Chain A
Amino acid sequence: MGDDLPRTIAPSSRVRAALVVSVIAALAAAFAAATHESAALVGWLAAATAFAVTFAAGARARELRASDVLREPRTRPGPTAAEALPDDVTRRGVFDRFWGLAAGALTLLAVVPFVALARAPRSNGTFWKAGTRLVTPDGTPLRVDDLAVGGIETVFPEGHLTSYESTAVLLRLPPTVAVEGEHGDWVRDGNIAYSKICTHAGCPVALYRQESLELYCPCHQSVFDVVHGARPVSGPATRALPQLALDVDDSGYLIARGDFDTPVGPDSWGRTT
């Protein structure tokens, strides 16, 4: 055992100087902070304090010549050193498996409060109903011609601007593009609307590749074919974006004809539709 204390010598002037520098830097940092100097200046002065202490500690360690390599015995509890335990500890004579069951039951009780943290049941409800107007994020209702051809706009059901699950994206297809199939009737003058929540991981499908008529999710690069029901054509998504059937009311505003055709957002075990 290295019990003999190494010869202590007085700190050298280098060590002393470094410590003085650290004190000055710390005071300067405090002053700079109090006078609202830039954060960079405050931070660098504080860093200088730390670096000066680093230097002082390193220099002190060197000059103490304390770095002689020493040894102490290494004893380890091996199989021979393991002491035999009293019989009643190892034989489970005191606590048998029924105690284990009781302990398990108590643990289960401890979990119950955490289960109770789950409050509201998960809702897929949106505020889209037949006749609900499409409004922009600032609440302006949209007419059939408000969105320019090739344009994209985030839309909400009128009166529900913060409804997360209702978030939809309205696109205006060029007149040359025809939407065929059963959803052909869900388009009005090129206006076509889909849920903005990606069916992969729930990010807003915010980017529009105008030339190829595809919606593109910036999170994981799922690509949806706008003309063909927003079916996924590339990336990790497996399900089309829910579509909103559109119509025009008597005043010429775009309205929904009902809720989205499929559930909004990523799939889960509980979603069996």
Chain B
Amino acid sequence: MIARRVTRFFDERFGSNAAVRFAVTKIFPDHWSFYLGEFALYSFALLVATGVWLTFVYDPSPAAAYDSVVALSRATPVGYLMRQVHHWSAVVFVAAILLHMARIFVTGAFRKPRELNWVVGFLLLILASVTGFTGYSLPYDVLSGTGLRIADSVLLAVPFVGGFLENVFNGGAFPGPLLLSHLYTFHVYFLPVSIAALLAAHLGMMVFQKHTQFANEPGSVVGRRMWPDYALRATAAFAITVGVILALASTLEINPIDEYGPYNGWTVPNPATPDWYAAFLDGALRLGPAIELRLFGHPIPALFWPGVVMPTIVLAVLICWPWIDARFTRDARAHDVLESASDRPWRVGFGSALVCAGILLTLAAGDDQQALAMHVPVEALLRLYQLLVPFGSLAVGWVAFVFARQVAARRRVGELAAERVVGLRRNEVGGFDAEAPETAA
């Protein structure tokens, strides 16, 4: 057997069998929702694999960037597929992270002792989105060039340091000569290496602290063995991630830059909407109030509030969520057993409101197209979204809260009814004695 030879080779030199034994006998809790994070991990692997290939053909100079990407897409089916798979992997990566995070959120998996892993996971979401943005900006087509100009304006809107940030971003004023090489460095070195490092920390913490579980047995890890069971399941999860992304990339063309044309600074695509995971910010910029404050004679542009302050507040609340949650539940104990979503109706309510606001802001990034399709003035739709984002989200959050509370109450009634099955026995003096309650079969 090859496996025996290989393991013996390494064991005789490193004593590695102990580590292998630890790895293969590890017990892993199992649930379909635990695969969401894995899908993210495998799409990242695919991103690295295709991304390394793309660096061989991409030219990060403003004059040649667009042509190098178009040439790559047109030359061979492999080149076209590589770009399509890379972009689709990014979409799946961010989507899987968001779903994974939603699962962690509603089941309370972020509670002590796993707060830091929530923080690391959240940083991974931010890095993934920024990597996605820098990545789809690299072709320097008219859509992404416009996106870069907007990002540049948001940087510029930061008080005190805006001009400096813009300068570093561009290597001068927009569109600076170093803009693409800065983006390129970020996209292919700094961000992916940061993601890989944080991923290692994320997975290392998970192995060290052991995975949470739904089984209500706090004293033990209830699950399936790593080898062969989980290894096979993980293989299946990896292969299906690759298969789905390949199928998407071969069927639905994403980011057809040769239809958009190159960026020249004075033409603009219509519609001008970014990739879906950045669209909520664009929606916020559309809905933001047209108010420019002045502080000591310096303008604070309208962009600052929806473009910088809003996302910063949301990110700060989410990143601190484990501690906010502990404050609300007055529960500072460590937990390994997951909660069901309805155990914490207000958590479900808050999460639903946030998701709703995110979806509405994302939809608002297409308000002009919707206005066109529905034959209503875009100004009217804008007003509608300005009302819907705060009030609609609150309403949805409240409905989710009430619904979760109902579910919890109904379950509690069921549990009480089950507890109340008590046997009675006549005693010697004519009264009744309760027998021990029957345990549920």
Spell out A's residues near B (CB within 8 Å): 1-3, 6, 32-33, 36-44, 46-51, 53-54, 57-58, 60-61, 64, 66-74, 76, 78, 114-115, 117-123, 137, 154, 162, 164-165, 167, 196, 200-204, 206-207, 218-223, 232, 234-239, 265-272
B105 within 8 A of A: no
| Chain A residues within 8 Å of B285, by CB | 200-201, 220, 236
A73 pairs with B249, CB closer than 8 A: no
Smallest distance from the beta carbon of A216 to chain B beta carbons, Å?
A: 9
Of A46, A69, A267, chain B has the most CB atoms within 10 Å of the CB of: A267
B59 within 8 A of A: no
Give which listed residue, A37, A234, A270, A272, contacts B162 with CB less than 8 A.
A270
Give which listed residue, B229, B250, B298, contacts A61 with CB less than 8 A.
B229
Smallest distance from the beta carbon of A59 to chain B beta carbons, Å?
A: 9
B173 pairs with A120, CB closer than 8 A: yes
B251 within 8 A of A: yes
B379 pairs with A33, CB closer than 8 A: no
Given known A40-B250, A203-B149, A219-B272, contact A74–B336 (CB-CB < 8 A): yes
Given known A72-B27, A137-B266, A238-B302, contact A269–B77 (CB-CB < 8 A): no
Of B78, B182, B224, B292, chain A has the most CB atoms within 10 Å of the CB of: B78
B25 within 8 A of A: yes
Give which listed residue, B113, B232, B282, contacts A64 with CB less than 8 A.
B232
Rounded to whole angstroms, the CA-CA distance of A61 and B28 in the bound complex is 15
A57 pairs with B251, CB closer than 8 A: no
Smallest distance from the beta carbon of B184 to chain A beta carbons, Å?
A: 14
Of B220, B235, B289, B302, chain A has the most CB atoms within 10 Å of the CB of: B302
Rounded to whole angstroms, the CA-CA distance of A151 and B376 in the bound complex is 25
When C-beta atoms are compared, the residue in chain A nearest to B285 turns out to be: A220
B392 within 8 A of A: no
B156 within 8 A of A: yes
Rounded to whole angstroms, the CA-CA distance of A139 and B196 in the bound complex is 49
Q: Mark B243-260, 1 if CB is under 8 A from A, else 0.
A: 110110111000000000
Give which listed residue, A61, A74, A265, A267, contacts B299 with CB less than 8 A.
A267
Rounded to whole angstroms, the CA-CA distance of A78 and B336 in the bound complex is 13
B301 within 8 A of A: yes
Rounded to whole angstroms, the CA-CA distance of A65 and B237 in the bound complex is 18
| Chain A residues within 8 Å of B431, by CB | none
Could you list some 10 contacts between A and B, CB below 8 A? Answer: A3-B25, A41-B77, A57-B235, A57-B236, A61-B236, A204-B146, A204-B267, A218-B271, A236-B289, A270-B163
B45 within 8 A of A: no
| Given A122-B173, A219-B268; 14 other pairs, CB 8 A cutoff | A3-B25, A53-B235, A73-B221, A74-B210, A115-B164, A120-B173, A202-B149, A203-B150, A218-B269, A219-B150, A221-B378, A235-B379, A269-B159, A269-B162
- Place the interface of chain B in its size category: 35 or more
Smallest distance from the beta carbon of A95 to chain B beta carbons, Å?
A: 23
A42 pairs with B25, CB closer than 8 A: no
When C-beta atoms are compared, the residue in chain A nearest to B82 turns out to be: A39
Rounded to whole angstroms, the CA-CA distance of A74 and B218 in the bound complex is 8
B270 within 8 A of A: yes
Smallest distance from the beta carbon of B380 to chain A beta carbons, Å?
A: 11
Smallest distance from the beta carbon of B313 to chain A beta carbons, Å?
A: 19
When C-beta atoms are compared, the residue in chain B nearest to A125 turns out to be: B173
A42 pairs with B267, CB closer than 8 A: no
Give which listed residue, A64, A119, A206, contacts B172 with CB less than 8 A.
A119
B268 pairs with A50, CB closer than 8 A: no
| Chain B residues within 8 Å of A221, by CB | 286, 367-368, 378-379, 382
Give which listed residue, A50, A51, A70, A206, contacts B224 with CB less than 8 A.
A70
| Chain B residues within 8 Å of A44, by CB | 246-247, 250-251
Rounded to whole angstroms, the CA-CA distance of A23 and B379 in the bound complex is 57
When C-beta atoms are compared, the residue in chain B nearest to A123 turns out to be: B173
A206 pairs with B268, CB closer than 8 A: yes
| Chain A residues within 8 Å of B291, by CB | 238
A58 pairs with B236, CB closer than 8 A: yes
| Chain B residues within 8 Å of A33, by CB | 76-78
Of B27, B182, B266, chain A has the most CB atoms within 10 Å of the CB of: B266
Smallest distance from the beta carbon of B245 to chain A beta carbons, Å?
A: 8
A202 pairs with B174, CB closer than 8 A: yes
B69 within 8 A of A: no
Rounded to whole angstroms, the CA-CA distance of A77 and B314 in the bound complex is 32
| CB neighbors of A among B211-227 (8 A) | 217-225
B272 pairs with A203, CB closer than 8 A: yes
Give which listed residue, A37, A69, A196, contacts B222 with CB less than 8 A.
A69
Rounded to whole angstroms, the CA-CA distance of A61 and B235 in the bound complex is 10
B298 pairs with A272, CB closer than 8 A: yes
| Chain A residues within 8 Å of B164, by CB | 115, 118
Give which listed residue, B159, B160, B168, contacts A118 with CB less than 8 A.
B168
A202 pairs with B152, CB closer than 8 A: yes
B353 within 8 A of A: no
Give which listed residue, A32, A74, A206, contacts B221 with CB less than 8 A.
A74
Given known A42-B77, A47-B243, A72-B220, contact A2–B225 (CB-CB < 8 A): yes
B297 within 8 A of A: yes
| Chain B residues within 8 Å of A69, by CB | 222-224
Rounded to whole angstroms, the CA-CA distance of A44 and B249 in the bound complex is 9
Q: Mark B225-243, 1 if CB is under 8 A from A, else 0.
A: 1001100110110011011
